[in-house]
Amino acid sequence: MRVFKGEVTALPPDKSISHRAALIASLSEGTTEITNFSAGFDNQSTLGVLQGAGITLRQEEIAGAYGRSVRRVVVESKGLWSFTPPAAPLMCNNSGSTMRMFAGILAAQPFKSELVGDSSLLKRPMKRVADPLRLMGAEVELSPAGTAPMMINGTKELKPLEYRLPVPSAQVKSLVAFAALHAEGETRIIEAVRSRDHTEVMLGLESFERDGERVIVVPGRKPLLAKPFYIPADPSAACFIVALGLLARGSEIMIRDVCLNPTRAAFLDILVDAGAGLTIENERVIGGERIGDILVHNTSDIEPLRISDPKLVAIVIDELPMLAVLSAFATGSFELHHAAELRTKESDRIDALVVNLRRLGFACEDYPDGFVVKGRNVTPSGTVVIESFDDHRIAMSFAIASRATGCALDITDINVVGVSFPNFFELLESLEA
């Protein structure tokens, strides 16, 4: 069994906050400086579509903490209507976050635009994006299958509305909020199950509880003024390093400056409740976001993970692949319910996990909104081919299991990890003692 030790200071900056910082900067009057912006493919796609729609920005390397360089993005904007008609379709590549959230901004611009993506993104559902924008007065056309390419005929006369999210989705909540910033009047977004709240925090939006639901209030046509943003380390990336330490007995890893927003770091609570050796140190607040250091000290076994609370599923949706693989390898057991949203990510992640775990000898049963692992019938000999399904989180989850347990895995399209974690393998090698 391998052992991993060390201090991690080079986790990727948070994807979700990076997306939102760039989009908010494009709507803010003045010059916005975003420090520690993500170099991942998805976040670079967001910068690309902004430039394609007329926003002036630049990227530069500057000195950061712990003696390393970080990326700073400087965005120039005149406010809510600073965009110009794109000369060509706006390429979002594999980034659903880019397409969905930027659609809310384009819906308010008085011109036609088209959002396109790679073959994977063109399979992902976009009706949930189009529906609220149509209610607000924009014209949105999708493919017959309800997917991109997405044609948007925007208007400066968007109408405010009260919109209840049909499914928990931080992306849909954000696109409605971005559109509502341009509307004449107050929009209210209602969510029965809370999703990640970075957009509300970064825009300073008010919210309140009503009849067990959360109501977010978005004032329309209130100018946004440029302000600096600092991007903490991505907790979804930290989850992989935490799993590495927990799978390899005797490991001890310190992970610095991780975003601990309660709507993003709930996977830590799940693991602590299961007996994992995790502690939080140096906790503080920067820009409204909780940040701290995670110490992984593997001295005991964890209990099997069983995740069935819909509210919890909504806020650990990105960490579920790694949690599933961790629990399967560490305990031979895992159970998940109310996670149908996993089927609409970069891949059908329920199917991807079940297919690969079965190849590794685990007994699995899947159903529409989850699956269960019921032990391991056989441990394969030799190298097992793992299908990444062109999905970075599937590839990284099994790569962690391979490194920590020593099982021989041949993972297809492994370079897809660059979508969110470009230095993934370099970091793993630095931790191996």
Active site residues: 318
Sheet holding 289-297, edge to edge: 5-8, 252-259, 289-297, 278-286
Residues 65 and 257: beta-carbon distance below 8 Å: yes
Q: What is residue 337's three-state secondary structure?
A: coil
For residues 95 and 116, give the distance between their C-alpha atoms in angstroms, rounded to a whole number. Answer: 10
Q: Which helix (H) or strand (E) holds 177?
A: helix 170-180
Residues 254 and 36: beta-carbon distance below 8 Å: no
Q: What is residue 222's three-state secondary structure?
A: coil
Q: What is the bridge-based pairing of β-strands 28-35 and 224-225? A: parallel
Q: Which of 7, 5, 9 is nearest to 66 (CA)?
A: 9
For residues 233 and 10, give the distance between their C-alpha atoms in angstroms, rounded to a whole number. Answer: 8
- Which residues 6+ apart lie within 8 Å of 422 measured at CB? 12, 39, 40
DSSP β-bridge partners for residue 309: none
Residues 202 and 17: beta-carbon distance below 8 Å: yes
What's the token pair of residue 220? 């329309």
Q: Which of 229, 226, 199 is nearest to 71 (CA)?
A: 229
Residues 342 and 349: beta-carbon distance below 8 Å: yes
Instruction: Find the DSSP H helices in 248-348.
Output: 266-273, 310-315, 320-331
Instruction: Find the DSSP H helices in 274-391.
Output: 310-315, 320-331, 349-359
Q: Which helix (H) or strand (E) holds 98?
A: helix 96-106
212: Cα within 13 Å, side-chain hemisphere: 3
DSSP state at residue 363: E
Q: What is residue 81's three-state secondary structure?
A: coil
